[in-house]
Amino acid sequence: MVRYAKPRSVDEALGLLADGEWRILAGGTDFYPALGSLPLKYDVLDINGLAELDHISETDDAFVIGARTSWTSLIRHDLPPAFDALKLAAREVGSVQIQNRATVAGNLCNASPAADGVPPLLALDATVELRSASGIRTLPLYDFILGNRKTARRPDELLTAIRIPTSATAGRSGFVKLGARRYLVISIAMAAANVEIEGDGRISAARVAVGACSPVALRLPALEVALVGCQADASVVGAIPNQHFAGLSPIDDVRGSAAYRIEAAREIVGRALLMAVGGRRAEAVAA
């Protein structure tokens, strides 16, 4: 018989995790598709009883997204403009039906190369909080997702929160998802950008990430450096030379060729930046 547990506290959950291997069930939107029609063959730890993880809160130096926060909760929560990109991404996670159940944290733990939440969270310098019976550790998001469907979470750990440092929430943001249809679509490529703008209208800091063009979504540090000092207007697109995209390693698949993805990534990064510097909500989906 496989086991099922629905703990009522994080400590109880961590105790169970210390005691054996569990598949964690949160929103269920990745759990059930992965299960398909097969019988359950693994122990299931259902974290839907952990009320303490369903919150969005602020500390002195960070915004904290609890591990059970759904995309819909995120969309409805009043957050600064730096989160606009994440909210735009949230609206593109599957459908409303999915957004109501799926959690932001689950999107990270599932570690799909096309996870909608990852580029905007990378561009927000997000970290994840991993707790176990033996302690707590914090990893930058880019160190947490290791590859296609691979994370740094140990079997005894629970991802309990996503933290966005307040220092990364000063600017504005943009997000563009490229897909082959309007709704319910897995990205061909996506881009998220956060920029901070000085009083003189120049970019003082930029963080840009691209998804679905490498096994793990990537920040584009060379581009970010190049953007600093640029005028925060439509001319910003001119500051995007091809070599800044060299780190991407897209694949050829049914959704698009690798060459196309690189070209498209460059284009949508430009559009995400325009959205960010324009401070307006442009069309987030190109489909």
Partner 1 sequence: MMLAKTPLTFIVNDRPVAVEVPPTARLSAVLRDQLGLKGTKVGCDAGDCGACTVAIDGELACACLVPAASVEGAEVRTVEGLANGAVSALQASFLRHGAAQCGICTPGFLVAAARLLEDNPRPKEQEVRDALGGVLCRCTGYRKIIAAVMDVGSNAPTAPELPKAGKAVGSSPSRLDGLPKVLGSDRFGADSFPKDALSLLVIRSPHWHAGFTFGDLDAFVANRPGLVAVYTASDIPGVNAFGVIPPFADQPALAEGYARFRGEAVAIVVGEKDAVEALDPSDFPIKWDEREHALTVAESKAAAPLHAARPDNVMAQGKVRRGDADAAIAASHVTASGSIETSYVEHAYIEPEAGCAWMDGDTLVIQACTQAPVMDRDDTARILGLPVEKVRILPTATGGGFGSKLDLSLQPLIGLAALKTGRPVALAYTRSESMMSTTKRHPAEMQATIGADAQGRITGMVFDGDFNTGAYASWGPTVATRVPVHASGPYFTPNYRAAARGIHTNGPVSGAFRGFGVPQAAVMQETLYDELAGKLGIDRLEFRLRNALRNGQPTVCGHVMESGIGIADCLEALVPHWRRALADAEAHNKKARHIRRGVGIASCWYGCGNTGIPNPSAIKLGITADGKLVLHQGAVDIGQGSNTVIPQICADALGVPLSAFTLTGADTAVTPDAGKTSGSRQTYISGKAAEKSGRALRETILRYANVSSDAEIGLDGGKLLIREGAASRTIDLTGLPADADGFVFRADETYDPPTVPLNENGQGKPYAVYGWGAQIVELAVDTKLGTVELIKITAAHDVGRAINPLLAEGQVEGGIAQGIGMALMEEYVPGRTENLHDYLIPTIGDVPPIETILVEVPDPEGPFGAKGLGEHVLIPTAPAILNAIRDATGALVTKLPATPSRVMEAIRATRGAE
Residue nearer to partner 1 on the CB measure, 171 or 250: 250
Please provide the distance, in angstroms rounded to a whole number, between the alpha carbons at the two ends of the chain.
Answer: 46
- Asked if residue 242 binds partner 1 (CB under 8 A), the reply is no
Residue 100 beta carbon to partner 1: minimum distance, rounded to whole angstroms = 5
19 near 7, Cβ under 8 Å? Answer: no
List 62, 90, 188, 206, residue binding partner 1 (CB under 8 A): 188
Residue 7 beta carbon to partner 1: minimum distance, rounded to whole angstroms = 12
Q: Which stretch binds partner 1 (CB under 8 A): 131-139, 142-150, 176-184, 211-219?
A: 176-184
φ, ψ dihedrals at 165, nearest 5°: -60, 135
Long-range interactions of 9-16: CB distance < 8 A, separation 24+:
9/50, 9/52, 10/50, 10/52, 10/53, 10/131, 10/158, 10/160, 13/45, 13/47, 13/50, 13/158, 14/131, 14/132, 14/133, 14/156, 14/158, 15/133, 16/45
x-marked contacts with partner 1 along 130-169 as a string, rule CB under 8 A: ----------------------------------------
Residue 171 beta carbon to partner 1: minimum distance, rounded to whole angstroms = 25
Task: List binders of partner 1 among 13-52 (CB under 8 A).
Answer: 25, 27-29, 31-33, 36-41, 44, 46, 48
CA 30 – CA 68 distance, rounded (Å):
14
Q: Using CB under 8 A as the criterion, which residues of the chain lie in contact with partner 1 when the complex forms?
A: 1-2, 4, 6, 25, 27-29, 31-33, 36-41, 44, 46, 48, 72, 94-98, 100-101, 178, 180-186, 188, 253-257, 260-261, 263-264, 267-268, 286-287
